[in-house]
Amino acid sequence: MSMMTGKEYRESLRKLKPEVYFMGEKITDVVEEPMFAPHINTAAMTYELAHDPLHQEVTTATSHLTGNKINRFTHIHQSIDDLVKKIRMMRVLGQKTGTCFQRCVGYDALNALYAITYDMDAKLGTEYHERFKKFLTYIQENDLMSAGAMTDARGDRSLRPHQQANPDLYLHISERTDKGIVVNGAKAHITGAINSHEIIALPTRALGEEDRDFAVALAVPVDEPGIKLVFARQTNDMRRLDGTLDTGNPKYGSIGGEALIIFKDVFVPWERVFMAGEYQFAAPLVELFAGHHRSNYGGCKVGAADVVAGSSHWLADAHGIANASHIIDKLTEIVAMAETCWACSLACAYEGHKTPSGAYNINPLLANVTKLNITRMVYEWMRVAQDIAGGKIITLPSEEDLKHPEMGDLIAGFFAGKANVDVHQILKMLRLVENMSVGAGLPEAMHGAGSPAAQKIMIARRGAFDKKRELAETITGIRRDEAFERIVGTTEEDYLRSQQEKIKAEEVRICRRIIK
């Protein structure tokens, strides 16, 4: 099959029959469910832009397995250029949707598994890599969307997985047979889960030998028997049912449409199992996946920041203050913060490297720095956007009132700006700012791809303080400074002694200079 279009992707979901629950109901038609529609539209954009000549340079790639042209979201990075194009693609998609387009999580899971299965086989003599490549070829050839599922429920955080009273708090292997494994547990907060074709589950933390059964990586179709999806609520989500204005972004929604994935006695055949007990590779897999994923945020969130900056400028202009110095200053702040994060993500890619598998990885230190910046800067640029938009974003009347046959025009008139601007456009733009800056997008920027503490652990671990100490020791002379010795033609000690002797010899002249 060739790459799907956005429309074909939507249609492809109709063939699946996932077990989905929302608001106490079992949802039988995912595609037609109005609460899910914006998320499906957003994911569809990842398909549609692969056919758009304006963006194909970043949204498509050539498979290193088949040589075929594929959607970049199914590609394994083969170069620094691939890493850079991924980040550029993320920004474009953020700009087109103003929200999370979901598909990067599975993309990062594919790349992490590709590299780690290779490492596992090299060290342990297992046969995961070839198995994974077959699965990857299937994903690429059918242009499937995978939900990357990492976070377990985790229960008592002070206990390791095998110590939990309920083992299902971490996804684990309950049974091994000659045909495959049976797993139980759950994965929480999983982006795009209800509208993916496949679920790729990975361990969520470093594991010890006693946690062997929790060291499991696998892929299952989203409608595999035993998979139950519980769609999450969001701030103001029911506004989607009230019309098109109050919800703010009726086409694309807000963040990714997360779900709890419950695995109840799910059978997974061996050809879809990519880790089963190799606990020593859980931590490297987590770190590799997290690094890839954290590096994304200066792409996707910056694309969304472009939308916020645009809406802020539009609103300032509509109210006649686009040229006010304080507005220009605030808009400049948004752009400067966003471009700083963009620079971070690009740096992750440009400083990336080849792994033993041949696939490329981003710079993990920079990826964690990128995400840590995002946990702060998204809040900051949304704060500025709220500042520019004004208190109206949380006090606007409802769409129903604005449509009231007697009151509608009267109410709308009080929200007018410049005479030549349609007040209903102003209201739309205000609601967009509300959608992006007040809702679920902020905590998503905080916790998506891991919380700040997780990033700081990785930054501290990769901070190379021993090397930095050596630099300070060399400058202070505790350690030999060979370059300096070549410059002065003698040892540092002799040079400094001779300098002091010179100063003493010139004491009278130098004292005169001080007195002057």
Partner 1 sequence: MESKPPTIQVRYCGGCNPEIDRSALVSRFVKIAEEGGFRVDVCDDSGADWLLLVNGCPRACLEEERPELATARRRVSVEGSHVGHQPVSENDLPGAVWKAFNALPALREGAVSNGRMVNPGDVESTFSGQVGDAP
Residues that bind partner 1 (CB under 8 A): 80, 118, 351-358, 361, 363, 464, 467
| Choice between 137 and 355, CB closer to partner 1 | 355
Q: In the complex with partner 1, which residue's Cβ is closer, 467 or 509?
A: 467
Residue 139: CB atoms within 10 A of its CB come to: 22
Active-site residue, selected from the candidate residues 19, 33, 198, 258:
258
- Does the active-site annotation cover 21? no
Angle at the Cα of 369 (from 368 to 375), degrees rounded to 5?
90
CA distances in angstroms from 58 to 87, 102, 334, 409, 443, listed in the order given:
9, 17, 25, 46, 29
Q: Beta strand 273-276 with 258-269: parallel, antiparallel or unpaired? A: unpaired
Q: Which of 198, 278, 434, 444 is catalytic?
A: 444
Shortest gap between Cβ of 80 and partner 1 (angstroms)?
6
Nearer to partner 1, 118 or 289 (CB): 118
Long-range CB contacts for residues 151-159, cutoff 8 Å, separation at least 24:
151/187, 151/188, 151/189, 151/190, 151/204, 152/185, 152/186, 152/187, 152/188, 152/204, 152/205, 153/185, 153/186, 153/188, 154/204
* Cα gap 513→516, rounded to integer Å: 5
Catalytic residue (choose from 300, 341, 344, 348)? 300
Cβ-in-10-Å burial (0-12, 13-18, 19+) of 177 comes to: exposed
Contacts of 178 (CB under 8 A, 6+ apart): none
- Of 41 and 363, the one with the shorter C-beta distance to partner 1 is 363
From the list 64, 74, 75, 104, the catalytic residue is: 104
Between CA 108 and CA 348 the distance in angstroms is 14
Residue 348 annotated as catalytic: no
Cβ of residue 35: shortest distance to partner 1, in angstroms?
A: 44
Instruction: Provide, rounded to whole angstroms, the least separation between the CB of residue 448 and partner 1.
Output: 26
CA–CA separation, 454 and 432 (whole Å): 31
Residue of 75, 129, 293, 313 with catalytic role: 293
Q: Give min distance, CB of 351 to partner 1, in A.
A: 5
Residue 21, both tokens:
């629950």
Residue count of the chain, please give it: 516
Closest CB to partner 1 among 75 and 239? 75
Between CA 409 and CA 233, with CA 439 as vertex, the angle to 5 degrees is 105
- Residue 464 Cβ, how far from partner 1 at the closest point, in Å? 7
Catalytic residue among 59, 60, 97, 191: 191
Strand partners, 27: 20
Q: Which is nearer to partner 1, 5 or 355 (CB)?
A: 355
198 given a catalytic annotation: no
Is 344 noted as a catalytic residue in this protein? Answer: no
Place of tokens 């930095």: 468
How far is CA 353 from its chain centroid?
20
CB of 451 to partner 1, least distance (A): 27
**In terms of CB distance, is 101 or 118 closer to partner 1?**
118
Minimum distance of partner 1 from residue 165's CB (angstroms): 38
Contact 218, 11 (CB under 8 A): no
Helix (H) or strand (E) holding 191: strand 180-191
* Three-class DSSP category at 410: helix
Residue in 328, 333, 320 with CA at minimum distance from that of residue 383: 333
Q: Is 297 a catalytic residue?
A: yes
Query: Where do the DSSP E strands lie in 363-414?
Result: none
Q: Would you call 258 a catalytic residue per the annotation?
A: yes
Min dist. Cβ of residue 468 to partner 1 (A): 10
Q: Which is nearer to partner 1, 225 or 358 (CB)?
A: 358
Active site includes 341?
Answer: no
Beta carbon nearer to partner 1, 261 or 286: 286
Rounded Cα–Cα distance for residues 377 and 362 (Å): 21
Active site residue 300: yes
Cβ 356 to partner 1 shortest distance, Å: 5
Tell me the catalytic residues: 100, 104, 191, 258, 293, 297, 300, 444
